[in-house]
Amino acid sequence: MQKGTWQKSSAGIITSQFKIVSEDQEVCLSQFLLSTFLVPGVGHIHILILLWLLLLFDYREMLHNATFCLVPRGRRLGSFRFLEALQAACVPVMLSNGWELPFSEVIDWNQAAVIGDERLLLQIPSTIRSIHQDKILALRQQTQFLWEAYFSSVEKIVLTTLEIIQDRIFKHISRNSLIWNKHPGGLFVLPQYSSYLGDFPYYYANLGLKTPSKFTAVIHAVTPLVSQSQPVLKLLVAVAKSQYCAQIIVLWNCDKPLPAKHRWPATPVPVIVIEGESKVMSSRFLPYDNIVTDAVLSLDEDTVLSTTEVDFAFTVWQSFPERIVGYPARSHFWDNTKERWGYTSKWTNDYSMVLTGAAIYHKYYHYLYTHYLPASLKNMVDQLANCEDILMNFLVSAVTKLPPIKVTQKKQYKETMMGQTSRASRWADPDHFAQRQSCMNTFASWFGYMPLIHSQMRLDPVLFKDQVSILRKKYRDIERL
């Protein structure tokens, strides 16, 4: 540190003319001075003592413990320090008149930063003191969202730039300010899907909309229809009885020809049979025009669910429309010995995936799966005829930053009487589990991190297992299953 002079301003605030050799120390000093401004009654001697102690502390530690960070004009206009503050959830206090903040064309920086005037420096302490704690929390949360969504990697910065340019060119489908400034952000909300925000699962509350009241069931069929007692027919009848079911789509990915219409049972809702052209696993997540509802109930043909279970899962999903809600839960873990991610189906105290063999989610994820994920991952899934459910969980968790939701204590959701020679019995294949372990690491490598999030929450109906009359329980059949 070079020699300098201390001066006392007319406002009674100590200022310095010290030149700090280290830029880290310079920022620490700025943050320290701001914090001391906010403490009434601090004498000059105390400031000198605290300033000396300040230089002994670790810069990174102080940065992450700070609430506000001064970002003054610098050699690089403070851009690096600005991004550091965002990353650390430290609210930037901008002191650089005329500086155009990054992506200000689409990002509302008033939601994440305090824009000051460098000519009115002495007013900054009172301005900061006047901010309510709730507002401070909102500012810090927004810094984390913006950092993660647009600035956490060079790839995201480049993608954000390209998406903004695209919005300039195709103004008729450009994203509005709400999309860019609210989770999950502009990179995950594809305007080609829809120009109406109500068609996405993230904005129901912002728009004052109710969540969808109906779902479309999509049953993935891979075995021929040879008997009227097959699980797929029982499942079709049970789902069709749901008061929330609008229609049922049977995706026929079997090598055998489509069954005659009279082979399908009569149901109170329309049943549409679609024969897949490529008959690959990823085809179950194509954005079919036949899906007319926002909610999709995804089912394997050998899934065993009652009408009551379907109804309860859907009512839970209505409260969490951006998540996957369902029955079969799985988990991931880090294997220290192999130094790679592992996959487990053991019954543990937490989970991080809900398999799409019996789950409800928003149909927008079909569009994201098809148009956002790279062809390499989807080709891998199709070649293995495996892992498509894991990939969907990776995608949804990466978008929402939230875990899926498991409902009820049900653990066995497959028909155990399925023939072991059928394609649906792939769970019995000894290579099946090893493939899923490999998929976990391939997917994590592409995303650049592990997006799956563990949860210890399970939702059961109110009065579930309570010692009251069964007649008082709305979902009474679930306890008998």
Give pLDDT tens digits for 71-119.
887 666 557 888 889 999 999 998 888 888 999 999 999 999 999 888 8
Number of DSSP helices (H) and strands (E) in the chain, helices first:
15, 16
Contact 313, 407 (CB under 8 A): yes
Q: For residue 464, what are the domain limits?
A: 215-472
Look at the chain and report how many structural domains it folds into.
Answer: 2
User: Are residue 321 and residue 468 in the same domain, yes or no?
Assistant: yes
Nearest to 187 by CA among 144, 148, 141: 148
- Last residue in a domain, options 151, 173, 191: 151
Of 8 and 354, which is predicted with more confidence?
A: 354
Indicate whether 17 belongs to any domain. yes
- The pLDDT of residue 187: 96
Phi-psi region of 220 (alpha: psi -120 to 50; beta: other; left: phi over 0): beta
- Residue 230 pLDDT exceeds 50: yes
User: Are residue 147 and residue 233 in the same domain, yes or no?
Assistant: no
User: Are residue 315 and residue 405 in the same domain, yes or no?
Assistant: yes
Q: What share of the chain is helix, strand, coil (3-state, %, to 5)?
A: 40, 15, 45
User: Are residue 250 and residue 121 in the same domain, yes or no?
Assistant: no
Average pLDDT for 338-342: 94
- The pLDDT of residue 61: 79
**Residue 166 contacts by C-beta under 8 Å, 6 or more apart in sequence?**
174
Indicate whether 210 belongs to any domain. no
User: Are residue 147 and residue 220 in the same domain, yes or no?
Assistant: no
Q: Name the CA dihedral angle for 241, 243, 247, 252, rounded to a multiple of 10 degrees.
A: -40
- Residue 208 pLDDT exceeds 90: yes
CB-count burial class (<10 Å; 0-12, 13-18, 19+) for 419: exposed
Rounded to whole angstroms, how far apart are CA atoms 26 and 62?
Answer: 13
- Residue 22 pLDDT exceeds 60: no
Contact 301, 221 (CB under 8 A): yes
Contact 388, 359 (CB under 8 A): no
**172-181, 260-269, 308-317: least confidently modelled range:** 260-269
User: Are residue 12 and residue 95 in the same domain, yes or no?
Assistant: yes
Rounded to whole angstroms, how far apart are CA atoms 404 and 419?
Answer: 31
User: Are residue 439 and residue 345 in the same domain, yes or no?
Assistant: yes
DSSP state string for 190-217: -TTT-S-GGGSTT-HHHHTPPPPS-EEE
- Residue 152 pLDDT exceeds 90: yes
User: Are residue 261 and residue 346 in the same domain, yes or no?
Assistant: yes
**8-12, 82-86, 185-189: least confidently modelled range:** 8-12
Indicate whether 425 belongs to any domain. yes
pTM for the complete prediction?
0.84
Average pLDDT for 207-223: 95
Amino acid identity for residue 442 in this structure: T
Distances from the Cα of 243 to the Cαs of 19, 213, 233, 308, 408, in angstroms? 73, 10, 18, 10, 20
User: Are residue 147 and residue 222 in the same domain, yes or no?
Assistant: no
- The pLDDT of residue 258: 87
- Residue 268 pLDDT exceeds 50: yes
Indicate whether 117 belongs to any domain. yes
Indicate whether 201 belongs to any domain. no
Rounded to whole angstroms, how far apart are CA atoms 455 and 47?
Answer: 46
Nearest to 300 by CA among 219, 399, 223, 194: 219
Average pLDDT for 252-280: 89
**152-156, 229-233, 363-367: least confidently modelled range:** 229-233
Indicate whether 69 belongs to any domain. yes
Rounded to whole angstroms, how far apart are CA atoms 393 and 452?
Answer: 7
Which of 184-187's residues contact partners 24+ apart within 8 Å by CB, and which partners? 184/149, 184/399, 184/400, 184/401, 185/145, 185/149, 185/150, 186/106, 186/149, 186/150, 186/160, 187/149, 187/150, 187/156, 187/159, 187/160, 187/163
Over its C-alpha atoms, the chain yields an Rg (Å, rounded) of 28
**pLDDT category of residue 468 using cuts at 50, 70 and 90:** confident
What average pLDDT does the chain have? Answer: 84
User: Are residue 219 and residue 147 in the same domain, yes or no?
Assistant: no
- The pLDDT of residue 339: 93
Tokens of 158: 């480049």
Indicate whether 135 belongs to any domain. yes
Tokens of 227: 């008997």
Rounded to whole angstroms, how far apart are CA atoms 144 and 179?
Answer: 16
Contact 390, 443 (CB under 8 A): yes
- Last residue in a domain, options 115, 130, 151: 151
- Last residue in a domain, options 151, 176, 201: 151
Domain of residue 433, CATH code: 3.90.550.10
User: Are residue 238 and residue 379 in the same domain, yes or no?
Assistant: yes
Contact 197, 181 (CB under 8 A): no
Tokens of 286: 């194509």
**Residue 217 burial (CB count, 10 A):** 28
- The pLDDT of residue 49: 56
Contact 222, 426 (CB under 8 A): no
Indicate whether 16 belongs to any domain. yes
User: Are residue 89 and residue 233 in the same domain, yes or no?
Assistant: no
Rounded to whole angstroms, how far apart are CA atoms 98 and 78?
Answer: 13
